[in-house]
Structure 1
Amino acid sequence: MKRALDWPQAWFVLALALTGASTALLNLQGSPMGGIVLLVVGLGIFATAVAQMRRAMTTLNPRGQPSKLVTSGVFEISRNPIYLGNVIMILSLALWIGAPIGILVAAGFVKLVTMRFILAEEDRLRTTFGQDFDDWARRVRRWI
């Protein structure tokens, strides 16, 4: 049951909640317009990556078995554009509401997602796609 609840998007929601809760403690002034701009960027990267994976008919499940290696579009910028979009959205909330602790939350999210999900995903991709994955991993950074 514990593993069933351990999904990247659950950690993303928790990161947003922590960032949001921190503003009550600090009572700082935010930048709604800057937050909106970052939100649009983060959502755009996230949605584009999801659409590309769906078009390729490969799994979005971080523990699933991939059927295709998606390396074009946003996957030419980051090997993990869905997670990158999440990080940008956490930073957008931090900017929007004036919660600088969101920077630390975002950094913690990067570390957690890398250790809990990305490393295992990369192992599956390497096992499944071999040299194609290795070539892509040499060209494209894990984050940006």
Structure 2
Amino acid sequence: MKWLDIPPVWLAGMAFLTWHSRGPLGALSFGYGIAQWIGAAMVAVGLILMVLAVLRMQAHRTTPIPHMSPNALVTEGVFALTRNPIYLGDIFILSRLILRWNAPLAVPLVFLFQFILLRRFILPEEARMKEHFGAEFDQYAEKTRRWL
């Protein structure tokens, strides 16, 4: 069942909850104007972050798959902006779904999802990176934010 414990499955679960919390809520509605354009930009940025991160990881012959040990510490490209561009992309995509489906009651799911990503994936990954790369990872973590 470890193969189910990956961010896309968690994102799908959050999307499911978002879908079921949607609906017109009068004053709580996002509307369909500027919010939709912002949402479209968010998903575009999220997907670009993800693609650029995976390409950079492939160039370094390391894995983007959680729960696996990295072969290289990638610190350039989008990884110079954020230590977690793929997870940040996931957050942007969930935020877009909330806007697109007009589900303001689902906004807390963004924070829940961020917490899940942090506890289940990011902290263990950072521990593995610290173990493998030592001071090099410490320097990277000191100068590069976890999110933005």
- TM-score, normalised to structure 2, is 0.89
Q: Is 1:50–1:60's contact at 8 Å kept on the other side of the alignment? A: yes
Question: How far apart are the structure 2 equivalents of 1:56 and 1:102?
Answer: 37
Asked whether 1:90 is paired with 2:89, we answer no
- TM-score, normalised to structure 1, is 0.91
Q: 2:61 is matched with which residue: 57, 63, 75?
A: 57
- RMSD of aligned alpha carbons: 1.6
**Which letter maps to 2:18?**
T
SS at 1:124 equivalent: helix
Asked whether 1:78 is paired with 2:82, we answer yes
Question: How far apart are the structure 2 equivalents of 1:59 and 1:26?
Answer: 43
Alpha-carbon shift at residue 38 of structure 1 (Å): 1.2
Equivalent in the alignment of 1:17 = 16
Question: How far apart are the structure 2 equivalents of 1:32 and 1:142?
Answer: 27
Deviation beyond 3 Å, 4+ runs, structure 1: 24-31
What is the 5 A alignment of 1:124-143?
124-143=128-147
**Which letter maps to 2:9?**
A
Alpha-carbon shift at residue 5 of structure 1 (Å): 1.5
Question: How far apart are the structure 2 equivalents of 1:90 and 1:71?
Answer: 25
**Identity within the alignment, %:** 37
SS at 2:20 equivalent: helix
Equivalent in the alignment of 2:48 = 44
Question: How far apart are the structure 2 equivalents of 1:80 and 1:41?
Answer: 14
**Which letter maps to 1:54?**
Q
SS at 1:23 equivalent: coil
Stretch of structure 1 that moved more, 95-104 or 66-75? 95-104
Q: Deviations over 1:84-115 (max 9, x none)?
A: 00001111111222212332111101101111
Q: Deviations over 1:27-73 (max 9, x none)?
A: 74343322211111111111111111111110112111100000011
Equivalent in the alignment of 2:6 = 7
- Number of equivalent positions: 143
- Compared with structure 1, are the counterparts of its residues 25 and 4 closer, same or farther at alpha carbon in structure 2 (3 Å cutoff)? farther
Stretch of structure 1 that moved more, 20-29 or 34-43? 20-29
Alpha-carbon shift at residue 25 of structure 1 (Å): 7.2
Question: How far apart are the structure 2 equivalents of 1:142 and 1:78?
Answer: 6
Question: How far apart are the structure 2 equivalents of 1:123 and 1:25?
Answer: 43
